[in-house]
Chains A and B, each alone.
Chain A
Amino acid sequence: MSDHHHEKPAVQLHDLGDGKAAYRRIFLVFVTLAVLTIIEFLVTPLESAVLLFILAFLKAALVVYFFMHVYRLWREDAH
């Protein structure tokens, strides 16, 4: 459970580089989420619960995949 700082990294590190691509990707996802939220706010007068739920599921899927990286669950080498 705990992270032992004094030991060397326990998992094989991938060549992560400086992470510029990762930072850029999460920023793009964030912008998409912001746009979707504004769309939600703007389509409210249409009074369509279905549309709002579709938008909510879309946003949730983006967060679950890109921010919570659910795909790591199926990755055996665990990093």
Chain B
Amino acid sequence: MVKAIVNFSHSKFARSFYAAFAGAALTWLLLSVAFLALNWIVDLADIAAPENAVALQGTVRLILAVLMGILGFIAGSGVLNGLWIGRFLYYAGRTALVRGLFGQGLVFAIVYFLMRDVRTIPEIESGVTQASGEAAIVLGALLSTFGFLWFSGVMTDWTLQMFGHHTELKHGGPPGEPEWLRYFNIDVNHKVIGIQYGVTGILVLLLGGALAILFRLELAFPGMQLFSTDDYNTLFSAHGMIMIAAVFLGVGALINYLAPVMIGAADMAFPRLNAFSYWIGVPAAVMLVGGMILGWDTGWVGYPPHSSSTQMLGVVLFLMGFYMNGFASIASAINLLVTVVTMRAKGMNYWRMPIFVWTAIATSIMQFSATQTVGVALSMVLLQRTMGMNFFDPSTVPPGDPVLYQHLFWFYSHPAVYVWVVPGFGLISELLPVFARKPLYGYKWVAMSSIGIALVGFIVWAHHMFTAGMPDTLRYIFMVSTMFVGIPTGVKFFSWLGTIWGGKMIYPTPMLFILGSISVFLLGGLSGPILATIPTDLHLHDSYWVVGHFHATIFGGFVFPFFGALYYWYPKITGRMYNEWLGKLHFWLMLPAFWVMSIGQMVVGLRGMRRRIADYDPALNLDFTHSLITIATLVIGWSVLIMIYNLWTSARSKELAPENPWGSRSPEWLAPSPLPEFNYLSPIEIIGEPYEYGKDEEEIYARPIPAIGD
């Protein structure tokens, strides 16, 4: 029975059907976006649109979508493969992405239309959330996740096992299809999943960046030029959440691709769970985008009482999307920890692991535990909105308390920012010795400082709440504990300086990004204690200073090292070399622009600019700085596009990269590039220390285990 369903989902009919769905849905989506942009421009330019324009657009969209659906159904059989559109639809019908999105839409539609008129709690007679079918949206979003997972095939093996079938891990691409199709399908290989994470992460980064540029244009001048205030609220809220998703995806990409290779394993401990962690992010992203369409104005923090009472319904989809992303975090963190505990190569003891693996451990410790508490906080808001359960409204006896949300939220969300920056620190420590040709200074201290940051991260959360109405005693405790973060971070800075000191430095693009990230993170780090100190925080809280500090820490701690890592491991991933000149251009555009942006944000913050506000008083005299920040933002955006162009075109070059272009000792360079399906052609063993650069070349770190008799 279960087997029959699985077989049917791979039948010719099902594939044609999915191709039809892809054609129709994509047409609908593209036309919607196009019409939205068109209407916006018409509105801005004050052109009188014909009265029936919207209805006409709807009709055009419907007709074209149906036509493309029919075309897709025909193309699904492969008869139209001569045309590019036919090929596109043919392959679209064979991707897990399309299958899953169909399942998600289907389940959501069924649940929504069945539940729309059902009142969750009989005694609530009125109220916005009940009247608008909000409970149906929440339930539909929740169950639609399962729709996605089942239709895409992530759960197939587990479902079959539940019904007593034995399943084997399928390696390699889909049989009889081109190799690239495996990146759009459920694949258990950690490198495929890592690249899925990475490419999705960069795309999401572009989306979040585009939103930022839109509202930066609005902020360039005082007064409202481009958007309504509601649109502005949606834009900055979505920018925050989407960028957070992008950074999480980037962290997932690094850890998934690098950690197993670095410890000498063939794959993660739970390959199916690994695929699950990636794919559950897709329905979650759909929910976030859905939240954007409905509009949501709470920022990425979603504080009650605003989030529990706002009439912009997008907030529930934001909460659900955030919640679902948590499953991905927890599952992938557990997977990584288990992999490190049980799958290390022979001789790879904990003190000989590449330093990045230590940061992956520290990150996973925070991710797999703290994520649960934000889930509690988010679900409480959802329950309060849809079921009338009161957690945050102080009018009952005993009273509810909105500060409870902030505690639960920041208990996760503070460690979350360390989840983003600690892998970045790992990359800095990993790459500096390679380019300085010197051993990493204080390996054990650096390894322990990552764990230290993770542990201290658990006891500092309330420094986000100094102005929220906490008891004074708690404020002092959290001020002091926050200062402790400086100790393990300081250890890292000393180690980086000690590594650079007297090194024979070379400066290819990855090294530039690493050095740039140190400078940017220093800016973020030094602006931090000012916020952690109660008296100054009382003035700076909710100002643009916070925005400047935050962007400096995340760019320095994650974005710069991530781009450095992309260039550094690019020859490993593709077997080709990127264009050095374009890489350097990217760096020299991005670094100064970022400094201008971040320092500019701090300056306007000090001069009275509040964050999350669509407009400002011309009397504040901030126009010039704000315009400067906007220009800097545009430069950063263009520089990232240069990187994407560079990476895209270099992958198609015929020239192969050298085997170990950086002279790295790390074990992944022992294997061919791109990495084979199971990483190493024969098992490796670790016989030396990882970072003995610039010493006796005979002292090797890793080698293939010699065959018996050698």
A–B direct touch in complex (beta carbons closer than 8 A)? yes
Which A positions have Cβ atoms within 8 angstroms of B? 1-2, 4
Smallest CB-CB separation from B270: which chain A residue? A1
CB of B32 within 8 A of chain A? no
Q: Could you write out 7 A-B pairs with CB less than 8 Å apart?
A: A1-B161, A1-B270, A1-B272, A2-B161, A2-B166, A2-B167, A4-B166
Cα distance A11–B166 when bound, in Å?
19
A75 CB, nearest partner CB in chain B, Å: 13
Smallest CB-CB separation from A73: which chain B residue? B341
Cα distance A2–B161 when bound, in Å?
7
Chain B 257-299 residues near chain A, CB threshold 8 A? 270, 272
Cα distance A1–B276 when bound, in Å?
15
Inter-chain residue pair count (beta carbon < 8 A): 7
Q: Which residues of A contact B167 (CB under 8 A)?
A: 2
Q: Which residues of A contact B161 (CB under 8 A)?
A: 1-2
Chain B 119-174 residues near chain A, CB threshold 8 A? 161, 166-167
Q: Which residues of B contact A4 (CB under 8 A)?
A: 166
B437 CB, nearest partner CB in chain A, Å: 40
Smallest CB-CB separation from B341: which chain A residue? A73
Which B positions have Cβ atoms within 8 angstroms of A? 161, 166-167, 270, 272
B672 CB, nearest partner CB in chain A, Å: 30
Q: Which residues of B contact A2 (CB under 8 A)?
A: 161, 166-167
Cα distance A72–B287 when bound, in Å?
41
Cα distance A39–B272 when bound, in Å?
45
Smallest CB-CB separation from B157: which chain A residue? A1
Cα distance A2–B169 when bound, in Å?
11
Cα distance A2–B272 when bound, in Å?
13
Nearest first, the 4 A-B pairs at minimum CB distance are A2-B166, A2-B161, A2-B167, A4-B166
A30 CB, nearest partner CB in chain B, Å: 29
Q: Which residues of A contact B272 (CB under 8 A)?
A: 1
Smallest CB-CB separation from A5: which chain B residue? B166
Smallest CB-CB separation from A6: which chain B residue? B166
A39 CB, nearest partner CB in chain B, Å: 29
Cα distance A4–B167 when bound, in Å?
10
Smallest CB-CB separation from B271: which chain A residue? A1
Cα distance A74–B290 when bound, in Å?
46
Cα distance A1–B162 when bound, in Å?
12
Smallest CB-CB separation from B272: which chain A residue? A1
Cα distance A10–B627 when bound, in Å?
68
Smallest CB-CB separation from B273: which chain A residue? A1
Q: Which residues of A contact B166 (CB under 8 A)?
A: 2, 4
A38 CB, nearest partner CB in chain B, Å: 31
B155 CB, nearest partner CB in chain A, Å: 13
Smallest CB-CB separation from A1: which chain B residue? B161
Cα distance A4–B161 when bound, in Å?
11
Q: Which residues of A contact B270 (CB under 8 A)?
A: 1
Smallest CB-CB separation from B169: which chain A residue? A1
A70 CB, nearest partner CB in chain B, Å: 15
Cα distance A17–B242 when bound, in Å?
58
A9 CB, nearest partner CB in chain B, Å: 17
Cα distance A36–B166 when bound, in Å?
43
B167 CB, nearest partner CB in chain A, Å: 7
B188 CB, nearest partner CB in chain A, Å: 12
Smallest CB-CB separation from A4: which chain B residue? B166
B82 CB, nearest partner CB in chain A, Å: 44
Cα distance A1–B160 when bound, in Å?
12
Cα distance A55–B166 when bound, in Å?
44
A79 CB, nearest partner CB in chain B, Å: 16
Cα distance A49–B120 when bound, in Å?
35
B402 CB, nearest partner CB in chain A, Å: 26
Cα distance A45–B689 when bound, in Å?
62
Smallest CB-CB separation from B160: which chain A residue? A2
B224 CB, nearest partner CB in chain A, Å: 55
Q: Which residues of B contact A1 (CB under 8 A)?
A: 161, 270, 272
Cα distance A9–B166 when bound, in Å?
17
B156 CB, nearest partner CB in chain A, Å: 14
A52 CB, nearest partner CB in chain B, Å: 20
B268 CB, nearest partner CB in chain A, Å: 13
A8 CB, nearest partner CB in chain B, Å: 16
A76 CB, nearest partner CB in chain B, Å: 11
A46 CB, nearest partner CB in chain B, Å: 23
Cα distance A35–B516 when bound, in Å?
64
Cα distance A73–B286 when bound, in Å?
39
A2 CB, nearest partner CB in chain B, Å: 5
Cα distance A4–B270 when bound, in Å?
18
B276 CB, nearest partner CB in chain A, Å: 13
Cα distance A4–B164 when bound, in Å?
11
Cα distance A13–B270 when bound, in Å?
25
Cα distance A1–B338 when bound, in Å?
14
Cα distance A26–B251 when bound, in Å?
44
B64 CB, nearest partner CB in chain A, Å: 46
Cα distance A28–B161 when bound, in Å?
35
Smallest CB-CB separation from B165: which chain A residue? A2
Cα distance A1–B169 when bound, in Å?
10
A77 CB, nearest partner CB in chain B, Å: 14
Cα distance A1–B167 when bound, in Å?
9
Cα distance A2–B166 when bound, in Å?
7
Cα distance A2–B270 when bound, in Å?
12
Cα distance A1–B161 when bound, in Å?
9
A61 CB, nearest partner CB in chain B, Å: 20
Cα distance A1–B272 when bound, in Å?
10
B331 CB, nearest partner CB in chain A, Å: 14
Interface centre among B161, B166, B167, B272 (most CB of A within 10 A): B166
Smallest CB-CB separation from B158: which chain A residue? A1
Smallest CB-CB separation from A3: which chain B residue? B166
B8 CB, nearest partner CB in chain A, Å: 23
Cα distance A4–B166 when bound, in Å?
8
Cα distance A2–B163 when bound, in Å?
12
Smallest CB-CB separation from B166: which chain A residue? A2
B165 CB, nearest partner CB in chain A, Å: 9
Smallest CB-CB separation from B161: which chain A residue? A2
Cα distance A4–B168 when bound, in Å?
11
B700 CB, nearest partner CB in chain A, Å: 28
Cα distance A2–B167 when bound, in Å?
8
Cα distance A2–B164 when bound, in Å?
9
